[in-house]
Amino acid sequence: MIYQSEIELTTNGHRDLQDITKLAEHELAASGLKSGVLHLFNIGSTASLGTIEFEPGLKRDLPELLDRLIPPSPQYGHEQAWHDGNGHSHLQATWLGPSLSVSFADGKLVLGTWQQIFHLECDIKPRHRRIVVTAIGER
């Protein structure tokens, strides 16, 4: 069986990492499904989803790491064509990926104690985000 809905988020722009675990759990509960996989997909090419221990240290470290390895730069082809200052945003989001799928059993996400679901805004300005949630499973 399939249950599908959306999570909506407002972000503060580049480096805004949010814990969306409770929002995902809420959608899973609404699905009424007991075992399967919960799939989340960020609509748009400049934000990403994943899992992390959501604590203040890593909340700073992950965006810093991305900016160190994939920094803003006027040298990107994307910048030279569009001059919108977010070439690094696209590359960071593409590399981390737009989707995440998490197993669930007994109606609960099977996450570690220190493992949360994050949404990372990579774009350079605040955005309104839509995340499609699809639960695939059995009652």
Query: Is 56 among the residues that bind a copy of itself (CB under 8 A)?
Result: yes
φ, ψ of residue 89 to 5 degrees: the values are -60, -45
Q: Which amino acid is at 113?
A: T
Residue 24 structure tokens: 């995902």
Q: Pattern 80-99, binding to a copy of itself, x per CB under 8 A?
A: xxx----x--xx--xxxxxx
- Each residue of 52-86: b (16+ CB within 10 Å) or e? bebeeebbeebbeebeeebeeeeebebbeeeeebb
Q: Pattern 64-83, binding to a copy of itself, x per CB under 8 A?
A: -x---xx-----xxxxxxx-
Instruction: Select 14 or 90, whichever has its Cβ closest to a copy of itself.
Output: 90
Q: How far apart are CA 47 and CA 75, in angstroms?
A: 21
Query: Is 21 among the residues that bind a copy of itself (CB under 8 A)?
Result: no
Residues that bind a copy of itself (CB under 8 A): 1-2, 4, 35-37, 39, 41, 43-45, 50-53, 55-62, 65, 69-70, 76-82, 87, 90-91, 94-103, 105, 110-112, 114-115, 132, 134, 136-138
